[in-house]
Structure 1
Amino acid sequence: MSSFIEDALKATQHSTPGQDEFYQAVKEVLTSLEPLLKSDPKYTKYNIIERMIIPDRQIIFRVPWMDDAGKIRTNIGYRVQFSDAIGPYKGGLRFHPSVNLSIIKFLGFEQIFKNSLTGLAIGGGKGGSDFDPKGKSEGEIMRFCQSFMLELSKHIGETIDVPAGDIGVGGREIGYMFGMYKRLTNRYDGILTGKGINWGGSLARTEATGFGAVYFAENLLNKKGESIKGKVCTVSGAGNVAIYTIQKLYDMGAIPVTCSDSKGVIYDKNGIDLPLLKTIKEIHREPLSAYLKTHPTASYIPVETYTKGTHAVWSIPCFAAFPSATQNELNLEDIKTLHKNGCMVVTEGANMPSTIEAIEYMQANGIGYAPAKAANAGGVATSQLEMSQNASMEKWSFGEVDAKLQNIMKHIFELSYATSVEFGDEGNLMLGANIAGFRKVADALIDQGAV
């Protein structure tokens, strides 16, 4: 590791103590950039790394709201605007009790490069709150979202910052926030993506991250002379990304056999019953254990029975794994188990779901690794397609959006692969994606001067 990168990592740890997730994301990117920094000194000369690690601004605010009992509750809101070098800030809002500044910064930092890889004019940002929508009434969620937007509205705009959804923020939450934004500004702008289809949303946006991950995996497998068709696949999570990963796997002839939530894992060797999963999670919002009422022969593994330090979903034999839940859900022990059981490909649907040790093991043992910033970029890409439709006052068909999504995912794969070849490590898609994403933003920063 060059002294320049080591110094940048030390400076990050010193300036952001306790922000482990952010430091992990920075380390993963910087260590991949060494070949680029050696080949072209301008990135060191113009101090691009330091300029990219430090966000343009970090906004932290109080979100007071009233519960159904008339009691005032308070949560913390965040919006970190990392880089607008190639376009307005773009990145989701996450509502989950685990949210803190480190989580938001790691997500925003990753978003810079993910958005760059799409080839679209969008910068990187992220936001959210430690508010937990689970167990809250519709009224409580609405009042929280309205209070959150009361402050967020001061910092966003269709050419400034365009948030979207993420964990805990779906169409319902986007609707409440958009309604509040209109009341505050008297404007009907495309300042949020993931909107309802009949009031500015894009067809295929809900499906895009999951669909895109499978499209990326198929491109990777095709490069190896393989296909996903007929292959057993394991998927973690039971939210948007996981559900539509499962749906696209079925569309492409694969057999997805698992899903998971915070309470446990479902393993159905016959293939996950997708309509039932949607009913449980999208309509009734129940724990996955409810799956057994309809499919008693399926296996349910409660979280309290997991082997310590592992995730049970990765103990199921498969050809391809799709971690689609949350960060650091696949560790070194998990990937060793997957490898032993014949897994050949890991495609990240979630953001940074694999630990650094797990990634190093995959790279050392020939497991095809599709990093999140490349493989799960379909969601943000389709958000930008929603922005385009809003700006032009047009409405594209599902097929039109899906075709554009397929082309974008193919472009991201080919760009990442070609960049890995350019820097002497063919097939290292993490290196290729990091360098390709970084280089575009870095060159824009140099062109625009020291601002």
Structure 2
Amino acid sequence: MSGHVRERVDKYFEEVVRRNAGEPEFHQAVAEVFESLTVVLERHPNYADGALIERLCEPERQIIFRVPWTDDNGNVHVNRGFRVQYNSVLGPYKGGLRFHPSVNLGIVKFLGFEQIFKNALTGLPIGGGKGGSDFDPKGRSDAEIMRFCQSFMTELHRHIGEYTDVPAGDIGVGGREIGYLFGQYKRLTNSYESGVLTGKGLTWGGSQVRKEATGYGAAYFVAEMLKTAGTAMDGKRVVVSGSGNVAIYAIEKVHQLGGTVVACSDSAGYIVDETGIDLELLKEIKEVRRGRICDYVDTVPSATYVAGGSIWDVPCDVAIPSATQNELDEKGALTLVENGVRVVAEGANMPTTPEALRVLRSAGVAFAPGKAANAGGVATSALEMQQNASRDSWHFDYTDERLSKIMSDIHGRCVATAEEYGKPGDYVLGANIGGFVKVADAMLAMGVI
């Protein structure tokens, strides 16, 4: 049975690669899930019926569109917009919009595929989707970003709705962009559907903790991992890559839980501050000035800035890669292991290469995949949807408690599932199977869809 199942899974993966040529990130995401599925297909052969795996890998809908916009000098630019509505069996499609030059269909599909299982793990009624554009907001004025967002939403609004597809932010899409997108949606539809986008401002339908949620959630998940290992965050030395929204609020919550984040980064380099990253200064630089991480050392001369290089050279007990996909490679993982890392939790989506993951696993490092560790953002988005549906607004502490409980539940689900399938401590297998089983059961119940 084992050989037959493995052969079938391998054969279909070859078909995924053939039918989705030139999309390596998507291939990587599918391979990582398939690696965990043999054991569950052996135990429950019904999951192999009805081409369920094949249907799961094929998006329900892929939308690609032109986004023309005019810069402040009157020049017309054309970008490409995407929305992949991957799986709606548990609820409306839910997943962020990413504005970054690297965005292409393969990256959006990989993100959407991951989102299916991540959203299922939250226990909330949301399906999986993702979108974005190859537009680069860096260096653009507010007026240029507004014109781009309005053009983007002019097409996207045809395909979304609070019961259909609810986008949120991601890399390059924060509160400013969500505001422009929501304003254009309201203008085009002549209706105030606050539940159609999440990550909104607090005065117009947004949720407390939404901005902080992905970073907070990753820190909560790490705390659960440490507790399971018989220790705690107190006194732990932590490295968080990136310096965007996820990284900033992971740093904040790690500090609140008693750890010390000594390093963070951006695309140009990284800083090391042995006394702990000054969070208010980092927020000032990144959220207010929209500056670069190197500006930190102008105010904190005792800190060190390293242009280029690898942040994974900094010794730590806990690493939280929170920048972008495939940022932690084999060399970085080997250095982390050599320096004694005990826990790695993905704050970003698939920031760890397969080679790096093999290194960490073989060294016995506890590793949490993004579909579990960074699910806090989408979980709080779903809480925002609940508040919008009931015309309600929850206070910060209550929402933070809900987030903490959801992350604890996800951790418990991963641990229990890994133990059930004979791989105790394997968070990757626990997350993949935990999410898969929930989606697969619903798909089987609904027939061939």
In which range does the TM-score fall when normalised by the shorter chain?
Answer: over 0.9
Map 1:157-236 to 2 at 5 A: 157-189=161-193, 190-236=195-241
Q: Distance in 2 between the 1:179 and 1:45 partners?
A: 45
Runs of 4+ in 1 over 4 A off after TM superposition: none
Offset of residue 296 of structure 1:
1.3
How many residue pairs align between the two structures? 444
Structure 1 counterpart of 2:109: 105
* Secondary structure in structure 1 of the residue aligned to 2:120: helix
What one-letter code is carried by the residue in structure 1 that aligns with 2:238?
C
Structure 2 counterpart of 1:398: 396
What one-letter code is carried by the residue in structure 1 that aligns with 2:176?
R
Structure 2 counterpart of 1:137: 141
Offset of residue 51 of structure 1:
0.3
Offset of residue 46 of structure 1:
2.0
* Secondary structure in structure 1 of the residue aligned to 2:414: helix
Map 1:250-329 to 2 at 5 A: 250-303=255-308, 306=309, 312-329=310-327
Q: Distance in 1 between the 2:306 and 2:416 partners?
A: 41
Structure 2 counterpart of 1:421: 419
Please tell me whether residue 86 in structure 1 is matched to residue 90 in structure 2.
yes
Q: Distance in 2 between the 1:291 and 1:165 partners?
A: 26
Structure 1 counterpart of 2:363: 365
Please tell me whether residue 44 in structure 1 is matched to residue 48 in structure 2.
yes
What one-letter code is carried by the residue in structure 2 that aligns with 1:296?
P
Structure 2 counterpart of 1:243: 248
Q: Distance in 2 between the 1:254 and 1:440 partners?
A: 34
Q: TM-score of the superposition, structure 1-length normalised?
A: 0.98
Structure 2 counterpart of 1:309: none
What one-letter code is carried by the residue in structure 2 that aligns with 1:94?
R
Where structure 2 has 5 or more consecutive residues not aligned to the other structure, the ranges are none
Please tell me whether residue 22 in structure 1 is matched to residue 26 in structure 2.
yes
Q: Distance in 1 between the 2:123 and 2:420 partners?
A: 19
Structure 1 counterpart of 2:152: 148
Q: Distance in 2 between the 1:396 and 1:371 partners?
A: 29
Q: Distance in 1 between the 2:339 and 2:191 partners?
A: 55
Offset of residue 359 of structure 1:
1.1
2:35 to 31, 40, 43: 31
Q: Distance in 2 between the 1:48 and 1:438 partners?
A: 11
Offset of residue 332 of structure 1:
1.0
1:119 to 117, 123, 146: 123
The C-alpha deviation readout for 1:204-260, integer Å capped at 9, x for no partner, is 000000000010011111011011111110000000000000000110111101110
What one-letter code is carried by the residue in structure 2 that aligns with 1:284?
R
* Secondary structure in structure 2 of the residue aligned to 1:217: helix
Where structure 1 has 5 or more consecutive residues not aligned to the other structure, the ranges are 307-311
Please tell me whether residue 347 in structure 1 is matched to residue 345 in structure 2.
yes
Offset of residue 191 of structure 1:
0.4
Q: TM-score of the superposition, structure 2-length normalised?
A: 0.98
The C-alpha deviation readout for 1:292-341, integer Å capped at 9, x for no partner, is 111112111111xx2xxxxx110000000000000000011111100110
Q: Distance in 2 between the 1:137 and 1:295 partners?
A: 29
Offset of residue 364 of structure 1:
1.5
Offset of residue 48 of structure 1:
1.1
Offset of residue 8 of structure 1:
1.3
